[in-house]
A and B are shown apart, each in its own frame.
Chain A
């Protein structure tokens, strides 16, 4: 399958980079530094954004923040309809107890992914606080979930899909908006193209 043609490019590489830098600053500001802070990204691509945030914070504060990645396959409430046998490893190389965790995802939409991620983190221990950072908030929440840090708000409709492409896995960095057929699965671009 070839990559579908986007109707618009919402963010280019430079604007993604600026947004990530801003979010890094906001995180440090909100948490008054980086004590007890840890960043956890949701696979796939949230984990790569999380890595960018850790790098930015290192540049700003000179401190290495613990970084983790979370696969929510086992927590999905729609696993029987959107089953993928591909399970990516969850990798949280630190104790989450008492940590201030910033959960990172690329696109925030219904909020169901975040709910799964919260369950998954809670099963690992008891953080003192969890905050949510997303690159794009496209609205249409189905659960009472609200991001703490947002790169860009993108009003969209249900007949649209918003996708992030990242240089590390896709060869280019951009946020694009597509038309989708009604009822089609809306989600991240598969790794390594479609």
Chain B
């Protein structure tokens, strides 16, 4: 088995075997996370910079925990004091980080393509922790992991993604990843939230109606509605959105008995879900996804740092 990736940016560069390697490795790390001592010395002496150029609590915390549990030294670089806010360009910031003699950059940026810029100006491995509306590969991996844990296969699995597809970096990685693994993807949203060419992401079906799509789905993936981004609103009100696209107890009879419900978090109760569905003990895997996030990020850090250096060493 070979794993020869240096960066995790474009998930389309990964084969189904590569993705399964990550999931299997994440499974092994899951055991570490269940122990009293949740730490292994694997990345001792490695320095990882978490460069978060836009606010993020969950993704950053998850990366931080993953790094700490692998004994890497992590440096959080960003937030309101970012040098980009002070006018420094991304390239200058990256060159500054290089001088710290680091081993990896984990970057979150509000602009698409920022991780690629880092790869062009730094010799280290780069993980895209979300770039603009482009991609969010570790989110896609944790989603795959959570689905795999419950469904054990992807082949022929019918996954429906509901909500703001067109502005979603999650979809930019998740939909291609699901396609690589052999799943069938339906997106469900009003026309204002559907991207101009969904087929290039790998979308098989587009539906405006949650009620029509729901009976077919094995996995219902609810995207977060950005309450704060409702300027130039793509729908008239949260109330109407919830009526049309909210996953509620009322709609449960339309679902397959074993259909599961995912959400990248943070959730808006009363918008994407009612509490019944959000907290559903059998269907909701939302908290499993959060846990999976740590496991797949540990796996990605382990494989990328091992994989990249492995190539150089041999």
Q: How many residues on chain A are close to B (CB under 8 Å)?
A: 21
- The total of interchain contacts (Cβ-Cβ below 8 angstroms) comes to 58
Q: Please report the C-alpha to C-alpha distance between residue A89 and residue B25 in the assembled complex, in whole angstroms.
A: 9
Question: Closest residue of chain A to B37, judged by CB?
Answer: A123
In-complex Cβ contact of A80 among B24, B41, B306 (8 A): B306
Number of interface residues of B (CB under 8 A): 27
Judging by beta carbons under 8 Å apart, are B1 and A85 in contact?
yes
Contact with B along A143-182 (1 / 0, CB 8 A): 0000000000000000000000000000000000000000
A83 adjacent to B307 (CB under 8 Å): yes
Q: Could you say which residues of chain A place their CB within 8 Å of the CB of B32? A: 74
A90 at the interface (CB under 8 A from B): yes
Per-position contact with A for B273-314: 1 when CB-CB < 8 Å, else 0? 000000000000000000000000000001101110110010
Q: Is A86 an interface residue (CB 8 A)?
A: yes
Q: Is the CB of A89 within 8 A of B28?
A: yes
Interface residues of A in 123-154 (CB under 8 A from B): 123-125
Q: Are B313 and A80 in contact (CB under 8 A)?
A: yes
Q: Which residue on chain A has the smallest CB distance to residue B36?
A: A125
Check A47 for interface membership: any CB of B closer than 8 A: no
- A85-99 CB contacts (< 8 Å) to partner B: 85-90
The answer to whether A123 touches B35, judged by C-beta atoms less than 8 angstroms apart, is yes
Question: Does B2 count as interface, using CB distance less than 8 angstroms?
Answer: yes
Q: With both chains docked as a complex, state the minimum distance between the C-beta of B77 and any C-beta of chain A, in angstroms.
A: 24
Contact, CB under 8 Å: B35 / A74 = no
Nearest CB on A from B30, distance (A): 9
A80 in contact with B310 given A85-B303, A86-B1 (CB within 8 Å): yes
Q: Return the contact of A75 from the options B36, B41, B309 (Cβ within 8 A).
A: B41
Chain A facing B: main interface SS: loop
B241 within 8 Å of A (CB atoms)? no
A2 at the interface (CB under 8 A from B): no
Q: Which residues of chain A come closer than 8 Å to B306, judged between CB atoms?
A: 79-80, 83, 85
8 Å CB interface, B7-43 against A? 21, 24-25, 27-29, 31-32, 35-37, 39-42
With CB as the reference atom, state the residue of chain B lying closest to A92: B31
Q: Contacting B35 at CB < 8 Å: which of A76, A79, A124?
A: A124
Whether, in the assembled complex, B3 has its beta carbon less than 8 Å from a beta carbon of chain A, the answer is: yes
Nearest CB in chain A to that of B31: its residue: A90
What per-residue 1/0 map shows which CB atoms of A51-79 lie under 8 Å from chain B?
00000000000000000000101111001
A80: B residues at CB distance < 8 A: 305-306, 309-310, 313
Looking at A84, A123, A124, A125, which has the most chain B CB atoms within 10 Å of its CB? A123
CA distance A84 to B21 in the complex (A): 11
Determine the distance from Cα of A125 to Cα of B35 in the docked complex, in whole angstroms.
9
Report yes or no: B37 in contact with A85, Cβ–Cβ below 8 A. no
B41–A85 touching, CB < 8 Å: no
CB of A81 closer than 8 Å to a CB of B: yes
Kindly provide the distance from the CB of B35 to the nearest chain A CB, expressed in whole angstroms: 6
Contact A71 B307 (CB under 8 A): no
From B70, B307, B313, A85 is in contact (CB under 8 Å) with: B307
Inter-chain contacts of A90 with B (CB < 8 A)? 28, 31
In the complex, which residue of chain A has the Cβ closest to the Cβ of B32?
A: A74
List, in ascending order, chain A residues with CB within 8 A of B24's CB: 87
Distance (Å) between the CB of B254 and the closest chain A CB?
38
Q: Does A119 contact B (CB under 8 A)?
A: yes
Q: For A71, what are the chain B residues with a Cβ–Cβ distance below 8 Å?
A: 28
Residues in chain B near residue A79, CB distance under 8 A: 42, 306
Question: In the assembled complex, how far is the CB of residue B282 from the closest CB belonging to chain A, in whole angstroms?
Answer: 26
CB pair B21 A85 closer than 8 Å: yes
Given A123-B35, A124-B37, 14 new contacts (CB under 8 A) = A74-B28, A74-B40, A74-B41, A74-B42, A74-B70, A74-B302, A75-B42, A80-B309, A81-B310, A81-B313, A83-B310, A85-B21, A86-B1, A87-B25
What 4 pairs across the A-B complex have the smallest Cβ distances?
Answer: A83-B306, A74-B40, A85-B3, A83-B310
| Contacts from B to A (Cβ < 8 Å) | 1-3, 21, 24-25, 27-29, 31-32, 35-37, 39-42, 70, 302-303, 305-307, 309-310, 313
* 15 CB-based A-B contacts, threshold 8 Å: A73-B28, A74-B28, A74-B42, A74-B302, A79-B306, A80-B305, A81-B310, A83-B309, A83-B313, A84-B1, A85-B21, A85-B25, A89-B27, A123-B39, A124-B36
